Amino acid sequence: MYRGRSPPPVKRAVLSSSARGMSAESPADHQYRTLALDTALGTGLAVLVYALLKLSLSGLRVWRARVSVLVVGAGPVGLTAALVAVRSGKVLKLTLLDARYRSALLCRPQQIALDPRSVRFLLDLGVDFDNMEGCWRNEHFFTKIGVFQEYLLSILEQNKQKGDVEVHLGTKFSEEYLRKMSRAEWPRVIVVADGSCGDSCSVLGISTDYIVESCHAYGANATIERLDQRQVPTPEIRAHSLYFDLSAYGIDTVKDRRNSCQPAAKPGFHLKIYGTFRNRYMALACTSEADSKMMHFLRHTANSSIMKNIFHQSFNAYKTDIEPRLSEPTLHHMQCSRRLFEIMLSYRRVSAAYIEGDNVAVTVEGEAARVLNFDTGCGVNLGMRGLESLGMFIYRTATALDRNDVFEALSAKIQHSRHVAETFRRSGLASAVFE
């Protein structure tokens, strides 16, 4: 007798078989899944090993990358450029050339004034100012060019003993010098720092085209040599808001000031006295904003004795207490500008270049790249600004994989050089004379 309702045996068996199929995996599927996982792990590990190996090889290549560097010119900027190259760690061989001999280099009487920015730059290069003859004032360091050059030469000669530095003084950079070099001896980087009168750029075929721009100021310079005074570094002297009595020439400066309609403009002239006691230099300047009858007269006067009298009276009024006054008999030793002139900055249109056939990158520094027609005693600082990007330029050239990398390094160097010129043209006189 049939009692109750239960699933038929067959149906119960089918349901049981379906449940086992969902929970259990066949041996083939398990093997496939394991193989896929092993393949993915192996591929990932291979990619990781390849990336690490490539990174290691690239790092090793960059670490071992070295270039030969030739610096033309052993002035303050050229010697500093050589020191930058040595400190970059990317120089296989450094060669320094200068047409002058050691005695001519180190006996120069001119004084240089290193501003705080240049001092910090040189400190980072390992320059020890405590072991250099000079004096400090307002974070500026004053020393003679010869002293500065001798100190830098001593540092380079210490590296010369290691075999990676060669200093050739009394050797002129010329086409004949290049012809004597074999192709294997050609440097990869040439730094031209032979001054505004050097002809190295012409030898290398670099354009001599300059861009000339106004600094929106007017100035005049004077120099006097007194053989009875000491040749020691001396802090500079500055005086501001100066007016001169030109009433004898028909110019009433007092009335001109009283009637000025531009009280916000910087008034008068700025005077700077610098150099050693034996070789005294003076710079007189005013901004173009300070337009006045006096400035207009001094720009166009044909009387050359007026500027000499102005410098004479200014020196006696602002000199240091321990140096003698300028007297009438000593005036014939003074040389000065005949009148005020517009202060202009000239800088090369091409400050870096690539010599195609020889695979040489060239950069132009210092007064060979940019020059001011007005002497403030701080010209070397303008050269130091350009050297701030030289270390990176050498690094990028040494580690370049192809010419495109070299071109990018050259482009960055050119942009920095233009930035240096533009910055000085806009505000360089302010820190050098006006402030």
In the sheet where 140-144 sits, what is the strand order? Answer: 111-114, 140-144, 135-137
Of the chain, the percentage scoring pLDDT greater than 70 comes to: 86
Angle in degrees, CA 108, 111, 112, rounded to 5: 120
Q: What is the pLDDT of residues 331-381, one digit of tens each?
A: 778 999 999 999 999 999 999 999 988 889 999 999 999 999 999 988 899
Measured in whole angstroms, the distance separating CA 336 from the mean position of its chain's CA atoms is 30
Are residues 186 and 358 in contact, defined by beta-carbon separation less than 8 angstroms? yes
In this predicted structure, what is the pLDDT of residue 264? 43
pLDDT averaged over every residue in the chain = 86
Helices (H) and strands (E) in the chain, counts: 14, 16
Whether residue 14 has pLDDT greater than 60: no
Q: Which residue has the higher pLDDT, 162 or 270?
A: 270
Residue 160 identity: K
Residue of higher predicted confidence among 393 and 288: 393
Amino acid at 291: D
What is the DSSP annotation of 366-389?
GGGTEEESS--S-HHHHHHHHHTT
Q: How far is CA 149 from CA 78, 105, 146, in A?
A: 9, 8, 5
416 with 202: CB under 8 angstroms? no
Asked whether residue 29 carries a pLDDT value surpassing 80, the answer given is: no
pLDDT of residue 157: 87
pLDDT per position as a tens digit, 127-155: 999 999 999 999 999 999 999 999 999 99
Amino acid at 339: R
Q: How confident is the model at residue 55 (pLDDT cuts 50, 70, 90)?
A: low
pTM exceeding the 0.85 threshold for the entire prediction: no
What residue segments make up the domains of the chain, in order of their start?
67-209+349-428, 223-343
* Residue 24: per-residue pLDDT: 57
- Which band of pLDDT confidence, cut at 50, 70 and 90, is reported for residue 71? very high
pLDDT one-digit tens code per residue, 85-115: 999 988 999 999 999 999 998 888 789 999 9
Q: How far apart are CA 431 and CA 435, in angstroms?
A: 5
Cβ(91)–Cβ(396) under 8 Å? no
Describe the crossing of helices 403-429 and 379-387 by its angle, rounded to 10 degrees.
150
How large is the average pLDDT for residues 262-284? 82
Q: What is the pLDDT of residue 308?
A: 93
Residue 348 Cα to chain centre, angstroms: 14
Quick check: 218 and 208 in contact, CB under 8 A?
Answer: no
Q: Say what the pLDDT of residue 265 is.
A: 44
Q: Are 78 and 193 in contact (CB under 8 A)?
A: yes
pLDDT at 48: 74
Q: Please state, in angstroms and rounded to a whole number, the distance separating the CA atoms of residues 410 and 400.
A: 11
Tell me which of 11-25, 214-228, 262-276 is least confident. Answer: 11-25
In single-letter form, the type of residue at position 316 comes to N
* Token code pair at residue 210: 């300059």
Does 23 score more than 60 pLDDT?
A: no
Q: In what order do the strands lie in the sheet with 165-169?
A: 165-169, 91-98, 67-72, 189-192, 360-364, 352-355
324 pLDDT above the threshold of 70: yes
Look up the CATH architecture of domain 67-209+349-428.
Answer: 3-Layer(bba) Sandwich (3.50)
What's residue 163's pLDDT?
64
DSSP, residue by residue, 205-250: T----EEEEEEEEEEEEEEEE-TTS-------EEEEEE----GGGT
Query: For the stretch 399-420, what's the b/e string if a residue is b when 16 or more beta carbons lie within 10 angstroms of its beta carbon?
Result: bbeeeeebeebbeebbebbbeb
**Residue given tokens 């570094």 in the structure block:** 233
pLDDT tens by residue, 113-123? 999 999 999 99
